[in-house]
Structure 1
Amino acid sequence: MPSEFHIRDAVPGDGPLMGRLHAASWASAYRHFMPHAFLDHPDREAGSARHWTENLMSPVVPGGRGWIIEVDGEPAGFAWAQPGSETFAYPSPEDAGHLDAIHLLPSRVGGGLGRPFFWHALTALSEMGFAEATLGVYEENVRARGFYEAMGWREDGPRRVRQFDWPAEPFSATLLMYRGPTREQ
């Protein structure tokens, strides 16, 4: 476990930080199944920063919330949770919340932050009245799937092929829907 970590609410000014954290996480976690040029493209961070800035200012799904986890005062990751909704890949059941994102810097993966950060975000969904939540994870992201399964979550729902119409090299990846409790068992 890191010497000291703190989880705080994300604020609108955190959009660029969340974009940086998101891009760094994708570049590491998805490197074995997505084109490297796509992951390393300079627009990846800027586009993500725009998305999170907009979501922080006016959540796409009402009730959406974000958090930043810091270690010794330095940002180490972010998460976003919201009531269930239609997402880009599949609809979340109305009776479930949705963990839209949870990302750590590559240097922080495996360091003991994931479990407390995961349950922090899910506790917020529990406090909204959701006993269960969903999340999307790429089939090829075996490490993340193992983590979610260790938290008591299971694949539950349709598999969807997500098409990335990136001009330099179009590709696809299979998204799985996982579902699990919003309270640690």
Structure 2
Amino acid sequence: MIRLATAADLDAVAALHTEARATYYRGHLPDADFLGPEEVARARKGWAGAIDRGAVLCAVRDGEVVGIAAHGERDGLMHLTQLHVLPARWRAGIGAELHAACVETWRAAGVTTARLEVFDKNERAQAFYAAHGWAPDPETPRDGDHLVLRLTLGPETE
């Protein structure tokens, strides 16, 4: 089931975010950059705000939050700011369901283009996004150590 996150989900969302990020940042960035107390607190505050804005979707299985996606408009363009699945649940279609729910939400709101940034060492995520129609942003292909991808939403595009 995919649903909007509520304030009651904040602990699960923040923990999932921290665990998922550790899988792709570990070995590439100092642990403090993604596991340090200041970073964990900053991320939790960001998730709380996104949940309050109604911008977070949760994938729930057997009562457990197993995937999360956050999105919002910035500079007149929709951004997929986060999409994480518990590593123990990878390859079960949860990310694809969350992605489809985001696309459906965007289409309903009249969005025709979305953007995201993906860590340049996270090849698994890059392959996921490519399989779902994301391509390098022709205007800004990189932002530091992240690749910038763009999705054009046509009537048949997911």
Instruction: Give the TM-score normalised by the residue count of structure 1.
Output: 0.74
AA aligned opposite 2:34 = L
AA aligned opposite 1:56 = I
Matched with 2:47 is 52
Number of aligned positions between the proteins: 154
Task: Compute the displacement of 1:126 (Å).
Answer: 1.2
Q: Secondary structure at the match of 2:124?
A: helix
Task: Compute the displacement of 1:41 (Å).
Answer: 2.6
AA aligned opposite 1:26 = R
Distance 2:19 2:30 in 1: 15
Distance 1:56 1:50 in 2: 10
Distance 1:152 1:32 in 2: 29
Structure 1: any 5+ residue segments left out of the alignment? Answer: 1-5, 87-93, 162-173
CA contact (8 A) 2:10 2:47 kept: yes
Of 103-112 and 31-40, the range deviating more from structure 2:
31-40
Residue 73, structure 1, aligned to residue 63, structure 2: yes
Matched with 1:114 is 95
Instruction: Give the TM-score normalised by the residue count of structure 2.
Output: 0.86
AA aligned opposite 1:68 = C
Residue 160, structure 1, aligned to residue 143, structure 2: yes
Matched with 2:113 is 132
Matched with 1:179 is 150
Task: Compute the displacement of 1:181 (Å).
Answer: 3.2
Task: Compute the displacement of 1:43 (Å).
Answer: 4.0
Distance 1:138 1:120 in 2: 22
Residue 11, structure 1, aligned to residue 13, structure 2: no
RMSD: 1.9
Distance 1:34 1:132 in 2: 31
CA contact (8 A) 1:99 1:122 kept: no
Distance 1:35 1:180, change over 3 A: same
Between the aligned residues of both structures, percent identity stands at 29
Distance 2:94 2:157 in 1: 15
Task: Compute the displacement of 1:32 (Å).
Answer: 3.4
Task: Compute the displacement of 1:55 (Å).
Answer: 2.7
Task: Compute the displacement of 1:8 (Å).
Answer: 1.1
CA contact (8 A) 1:19 1:49 kept: yes
Deviation readout 1:76-115 (Å, 9 max, x if unpaired): 01111122x14xxxxxxx3x42111111111112222111
Greater helix fraction, Structure 1 or Structure 2: 2
